[in-house]
Structure 1
Amino acid sequence: MDTQLIERIIDEPAPVARANFAARHDGSFYEFAGGFTHDNFDDLLKWAGERKASDITFQTNEPVKSEIGAQIVPITRRALSKNEMEDLARHVYAAHGPGMVLAGYDLDPSHEVRIGGQLFRYRVNVTGIRVPQSTGIQITVRTLPQRPIPLAHLNVEEGILANKRPNQGLFLVTGPTGSGKSTLMSSILGDIVSTPNANEKVLEYASPIEYVYDGIVDPSCSVAQTEVPKHLRPHDGGGADSQESLWGYAIRNALRRKPTIISIGEARDKATIAGCVEAALTGHLVYSTTHVIGVAETLRRLIQPFGGDEKRAMGYDIMQSMRVIVTQLLFPRVGGGKVACREFAIFDAATRNQFLTKNPDDWPAFARKLMVSGRIMSRTMSESAYQAYRAGALSREDWMRIVSAEREST
């Protein structure tokens, strides 16, 4: 670990470790008699949610398995048959669901279950898989809390909290699949719209909608959530679908509705990145996610789709709109569960001006240099991991592994 890095963090107080994710599984099974039915499926989802399962996997010829406390464990005593899996595919999608899977399509429905007067929500993927001498089905289900986790429960760094609601611009939450990007972003938005007299009009576009804000929105605010493409899809003016980017079209839709905040599920392609930047430069605050790890790599990912003269022009717009980049990763917590570590950088006017003197291709290396030297408000993943280690939440081995990975990437 660099001496300069140690000097930056050694005198900082250790944060309070919080168990925001599941502890180890208690070893219990979901018990059922006879065939595995629709009712069993819905009841098992509730059962797994009570144990803070991050996802549940139903698979042909396998027992149901779930990730609880960073461990994948079986939660039924017997495997599910091919007929039972096809029946579940019909339940979560439609009667023709198994046929679509056999034809090579994957399905991404959302699923809601009302049990005892309470609504439970889930994100679902249905995909065909190989089984001996046939084709089977895997259904992956992610449990979703009914409302965002209170921001105060996530042990978010003060630098992020102080800049969670810029006046305008682009706020990106990045990380790999399953790193809690949507959880963090929804908690930030939930905190904003639950603040008295915030006077926010939030338009969220997601695929599918994960967190909902029912019951926490202050009367001065409104939140409208649109599931893409279920509620909104690009068209050619004559009623037929067009090939325009779904997310780029969502941003165009948002700009016609006078929001104060726009939330876009993922800035995943050239049209969406350009749309997010356009919205940010026209006075809106835009939150979005990107599947990439690290502040430096996020900058690289944003400019990558653009080439030639367009790269410099678009790079200028990207940096003018940039306000915050946060990368979140989840690691095994000492004693069970997971702990979140975050790398972040705050792009105030002075910081943006420093980047604008550089070629966009040089931004990733420049960002790392500024962060490690402490010349901008930021924290590296190594620093965040060190804080988790000092708090007793992260093992020394995992901390040193993170430090080594960071060194190799620079």
Structure 2
Amino acid sequence: MSQEELIVEAPAPVPRRDVFAGRHDGSVLPVTGRFTRDSFDELLIWAGERKASDITFQTNEFVKAEIGSEIVRITQRPLTNDEMEDLVRYVYQTHGPGMVQAGYDLDPSHEVRIHGRQMRYRVNVTGIRIPQSTGYQITVRTLPSRPIPLADLNVEPEIIQNMRPAQGMVLVTGPTGSGKSTLLSSLVGDIVSKPNANEKVLEYSSPIEYVYDGIVDPSASVAQTEVGRHLRPHDGDGADTQESLYAYAVRNALRRKPTIILIGEARDKATIAGCVEAALTGHLVYSTTHVIGVPETLRRLVQPFPAEAKRAVGYDIMQSLRMVVTQLLFPRIGGGRVACREFMIFDSATRNAFLGKDPDDWPALARKMMLGKRAVSRTLSESTYLAYREGLLSQEHWHARVRADREAA
């Protein structure tokens, strides 16, 4: 059966509420005179009111922001290298420009207080080439104050019904900027805010993005740890890799009797193995990985392990897996973005189907099961078709996704 035949049979769509930015109104922040540190904070607040995501400050360039899936100018003029150098000192320290000139990039955080609220930002400073010298690029991303209510994300009922298994591993996947952390924090936020939640959640991330202050039920607790800052191995000498830090984080979690463990990213052998061990010992583990699609996620999980260990490790991975969700953001008709998701629920029957196959054959089996409706699942082709039927997504983007899924098969 073709992709088109499958997606025509998809159920009627549920009306969506959009939480992403709409089209930019074309306005810019007026700044008189030198662009100062106060101008920097004012611009962050101004851009946040328009739901800007990435904001880019760059020597000899207008400040630009991504608003509603478009990159737009938000200042009246470019910034000079002297102004950029002062901003680097502001977001880092006095010696920040010297470090950049020496070839280092900087990853500070930044906070702005407005109307009694503390706004948090993730910052990267990197040196760039300018004529006859070295300039600066500062990339700023807003760190939201609390998770978006799950009801506002239009999450499929199958995902909601399976988001809190008794134990196991749940993965949210997608490329950078696809809203993985947003979706995952909303799932966890919904769980810990329920009356009598009785949850002890340990999160390990770098950096911490969403925080749960003020929404956690009295019967639950959430402890958030920034790996490398709040936690590192006892013998750490400042040269710890992300692999060693996250693997150590999992071991730390197992000493603290949590009900839920949230690992910021499972991308290497040690961290994947740690997540699987935690899931198999009675915990619920949530994590993310930078990959598109359920089949490719299964491939990525076993890929880091040597060939001789894949079958044994694959058995443990499949025994622990409960759900994989991939999310992509597409340009919305009329401006803004719309989230489309691919997912598969790994109940006992589905896991048994995979356990009978070699891990190298899992991606092909996943595609076959999803297309044949042999598992509770939905493909990205189906999801984009539903968005197209609702008038949210262009036919061009729907067809492009169908072609991409065919090429991956």
Name the TM-score, length of structure 2 as normaliser: 0.97
Distance 2:169 2:102 in 1: 40
Q: CA deviation at 1:130?
A: 1.1
Question: Is 1:142 matched up with 2:112?
Answer: no
Which stretch of the first structure deviates more once superposed, 105-114 or 354-363?
Answer: 105-114
Q: CA deviation at 1:174?
A: 0.4
- Structure 1 SS opposite 2:74: strand
How many correspondences in the alignment?
Answer: 408
Any idea what the Cα deviations from partners look like across 1:353-377, whole Å, max 9, x if unmatched? 1100000000011111100100000
- Percent identity, aligned pairs only, is 72
Match of 1:173 in 2: 172
Distance 1:376 1:366 in 2: 11
- Structure 2 SS opposite 1:310: helix
Q: CA deviation at 1:309?
A: 2.1
Any idea what the Cα deviations from partners look like across 1:86-109, whole Å, max 9, x if unmatched? 221122122222222222222222
Any idea what the Cα deviations from partners look like across 1:43-64, whole Å, max 9, x if unmatched? 1111100000011001111111
Equivalent position amino acid for 1:38 in 2: R
The answer to whether the 8 Å contact 1:8/1:374 transfers is no
Q: CA deviation at 1:197?
A: 0.4
Question: Structure 1 stretches of 5 or more lacking a match?
Answer: none
The answer to whether the 8 Å contact 2:143/2:209 transfers is yes
- Structure 2 SS opposite 1:122: strand
- Structure 2 SS opposite 1:392: coil
Match of 1:312 in 2: 311
Any idea what the Cα deviations from partners look like across 1:55-82, whole Å, max 9, x if unmatched? 1001111111000011100000111111
Match of 1:379 in 2: 378
Distance 1:106 1:373 in 2: 48
Match of 2:33 in 1: 34
In structure 2, the CA distance between the partners of 1:113 and 1:22, relative to structure 1 (3 Å rule), is same
Any idea what the Cα deviations from partners look like across 1:317-369, whole Å, max 9, x if unmatched? 11011011000000000010000000000001111111000000000111111
The answer to whether the 8 Å contact 2:48/2:142 transfers is yes
Match of 1:279 in 2: 278
Q: CA deviation at 1:115?
A: 1.7
- 1:247-286 matched pairs, under 5 angstroms: 247-286=246-285
Match of 2:81 in 1: 82
Which stretch of the first structure deviates more once superposed, 382-391 or 3-12?
Answer: 3-12
The answer to whether the 8 Å contact 1:344/1:378 transfers is yes
Distance 2:22 2:296 in 1: 32
The answer to whether the 8 Å contact 1:114/1:120 transfers is yes
Match of 2:110 in 1: 111
Distance 2:217 2:271 in 1: 30
- Structure 2 SS opposite 1:335: coil
Q: CA deviation at 1:118?
A: 1.3
Equivalent position amino acid for 2:287 in 1: S
Distance 1:234 1:91 in 2: 31
- Structure 2 SS opposite 1:79: coil
- Structure 2 SS opposite 1:78: coil
Superposed CA RMSD: 1.5
The answer to whether the 8 Å contact 1:236/1:242 transfers is no
Match of 1:16 in 2: 15
Distance 2:238 2:156 in 1: 47
